[in-house]
Homo-oligomer: A and B are copies of this chain.
């Protein structure tokens, strides 16, 4: 069908990305066009269809999954993040030179991505909509306000200060987490991500929020909209954004990384002078204020209680010979989180993986026929919650019984890397990429490694992945700053055998000044003990053992008064110093 359309229109190629009009990392169902067209469900994948070829571009994380899901579709796998990679622009150039006529759905593609394509790129809004009969609509979940300790008026005033410095009349915010942060609003438009699908234009005088008006049928949304209106925010329809190019006057600041190609084209065509750059909200949002930090601490206390109850239940159930599957465990953990105050939902799909399943860093726990958790080897659980006071993300790997020597070594070396990063002291201005090796060196010494980043930023009641900072192999120059929250999650994955990952969230904090400058360090927010049973003590040095004992003791002292006596006693045993 798509090729018939291509022939009719004279297009040489159609490029389809798994992106929404806001360049979200996790799009809502309506924009899962790659999945709809190819069946591939990985989080990173782009499709190219020509008259005689169809290919899916994805990276190392998804090769196995893509090979399985593309089998029989006639769609070829194009591997990225490998030395011989041929990215889409280069591949298209090899096919068509600069002569190709490339059609894209400009709504579901970032302007930056589209601009890198060779040949003539035409934007056909809703390109697949013509073929996709039962395509889901734009989500519209209830909208509520969040309290991050800074008013939307203060944030708008700060943005207007930015506009003045930049000599711009307005800034168009297109990234959903930046809009939610600025307006202190939340919804559930995207699974696990408390976001409202919308656009926000802030000018020196006004703030206009382009959001689906149909939502007002819901009383919570109506109340929220009233509050915003009383704060002077203009509410416009989501689709009204397309009038913006003809109505706006003056210089407009946009971030081409999150602005879709269609809207970008319209702005350019309307002759609006664009100031392109990284949105200032990105960095400001990453640096949490005191209120947000206090909320994150509270969220991690609640999350820790749920985690310890879960680990206790799992330990006892498996020891008692009950047949628990990975899925059962994930459901149980979800229930225990839901029991906590202010729980809104999970912050991403729980990875509940036993044995070989844990060897896939992005394992998806199957609902049906999930593997049973046996009484040996490792169970790995990577999960998190959204609470009204903050967001969590934690991974624990726990021994279900006896472990092999290799399992114990892997467990200990990953923990050593985790601890070495957590203990880091570093000068102001240090980007995370310079610290990444601290979590890896203990693995590298015995020629082990892991293929994912060590740490990602985490939002306050926002996405569990956020920039601009990270701790990974890529040379991202953004310095770590006090108030930033970043994960610390090294791992080891041995296909068909086992996987280990240990993850806490770390708050960056000031650590004083010496004649050599000003210093920063990390403080773990996560509150859940690390199991000491599989540790090969000889692989840890004194300072690492001290950190571990101190951390486990801190977890015990903080959580035990809030746990039932039998779980508290169990946790005491589990947190005795090694």
Q: Is the CB of A444 within 8 A of B424?
A: yes
Q: Does A277 contact B (CB under 8 A)?
A: no
User: 20 A-B Cβ contacts within 8 A?
Assistant: A425-B444, A425-B447, A426-B444, A433-B433, A433-B475, A434-B434, A434-B436, A434-B437, A434-B473, A435-B437, A438-B441, A444-B519, A447-B511, A447-B512, A447-B514, A447-B516, A448-B514, A449-B517, A475-B477, A541-B541
Chain A interface extent, by class: 20 to 34
Complex Cα spacing A444 to B480, Å: 15
Q: For the complex formed by this chain, how many copies does it contain in all?
A: 2
A445 interfacial contact with B, CB 8 Å:
yes
A52 is an interface residue with CB less than 8 A from chain B: no
Supposing A436-B434, A515-B494, A517-B449 touch, asked if A441 and B424 sit within 8 A by C-beta, the answer is yes
Question: 0/1 per residue, A524-544, Cβ < 8 Å to B?
Answer: 000000000000000001000
Does A18 count as interface, using CB distance less than 8 angstroms?
no
Residues of B within 8 A of A494 (CB): 515
Q: Is the CB of B425 within 8 A of A445?
A: yes
A541 CA to B543 CA, complexed, in Å: 10
The 0/1 profile, CB within 8 Å of B marked 1, for residues 167-208 of chain A is 000000000000000000000000000000000000000000
Is A21 at the interface (CB under 8 A from chain B)?
Answer: no
Which one of B434, B438, B519 lies within 8 Å of A433 (CB-CB)? B434
Mark A residues whose CB is within 8 Å of B. 423-427, 431, 433-438, 441, 444-445, 447-449, 473, 475, 477, 494, 511-512, 514-517, 519, 541
A508 to chain B, nearest CB (A): 14
| A97 to B: closest C-beta gap in Å | 16
A516/B448 in contact, CB under 8 A: yes
A428 to B284, CA, bound (A): 36
Q: Give 19 A-B pairs besides A434-B434, A449-B516, A541-B541 with Cβ atoms closer than 8 angstroms.
A: A424-B441, A425-B445, A426-B437, A426-B444, A427-B444, A427-B449, A433-B433, A433-B434, A433-B475, A434-B437, A434-B473, A435-B437, A438-B441, A447-B511, A447-B514, A447-B516, A447-B519, A448-B514, A449-B517
Q: How far is the CB of A451 from chain B (nearest CB, A)?
A: 9
Q: Which residues of B contact A447 (CB under 8 A)?
A: 425, 511-512, 514, 516, 519
| Interchain residue pairs A-B with the least CB separation, the first 4 | A475-B475, A447-B514, A449-B516, A425-B444
Q: A493's closest neighbor in chain B, by CB?
A: B516
Within the assembled complex, what's the spacing in Å between the Cα atoms of A515 and B423? 29
| Inter-chain contacts of A424 with B (CB < 8 A) | 441, 444
Q: Which residue of B lies closest to A434 (CB)?
A: B437
| Residue picked from A424, A447, A511, A512, most chain B C-beta under 10 Å | A447
Q: In the complex, what distance in Å separates the CA atom of A452 from the CA atom of B474? A: 23
CA distance A541 to B544 in the complex (A): 12
CB contacts (< 8 Å) of A425 on chain B: these are: 444-445, 447
In the complex, chain B residues whose CB is within 8 Å of the CB of A433 = 433-434, 475
Tell me, in angstroms, the Cα distance from A451 to B126 when the chains sit together.
54
**Distance (whole angstroms) from the CB of A142 to the closest CB of chain B:** 44
Residues of B within 8 A of A444 (CB): 424-427, 519
Q: Are A431 and B514 in contact, with the CB atoms below 8 A?
A: no
Q: Which residues of B contact A437 (CB under 8 A)?
A: 426, 434-435, 437-438
**In the assembled complex, which residues on chain B have CB atoms less than 8 Å from the CB atom of A441?**
424, 438
Q: Which residue of chain B has its CB nearest to the CB of A437?
A: B434
Q: Min CB distance, A504 to chain B, in Å?
A: 19
- Decide yes or no: A431 and B516 within 8 Å by CB, A425-B445, A441-B424 being known contacts: no
Give the chain B neighbours of A427 by CB distance below 8 A.
Answer: 444, 449
- Give every chain B residue within 8 A of A423 (Cβ-Cβ): 445
Chain B residue numbers with a CB within 8 Å of A512 are: 447
Q: Across the two chains, which residue of chain B brings its CB closest to A427?
A: B449
Q: How far is the CA of A445 from the CA of B544 in the complex (A)?
A: 13
The distance from the CB of A85 to the nearest CB of chain B, in whole angstroms, is 13
CA A494 – CA B514 in complex, angstroms? Answer: 12
A83 (CB) vs chain B CBs: closest residue? B429
* Docked complex Cα distance between A154 and B427 (Å): 47
A48 to chain B, nearest CB (A): 27
Q: From A424, A434, A511, A517, name the one whose CB has the most chain B CB atoms within 10 angstroms.
A: A434
User: Whole-angstrom distance between the alpha carbons of A515 and B359 in the complex?
Assistant: 13
**Residue on B with the closest CB to A512?**
B447
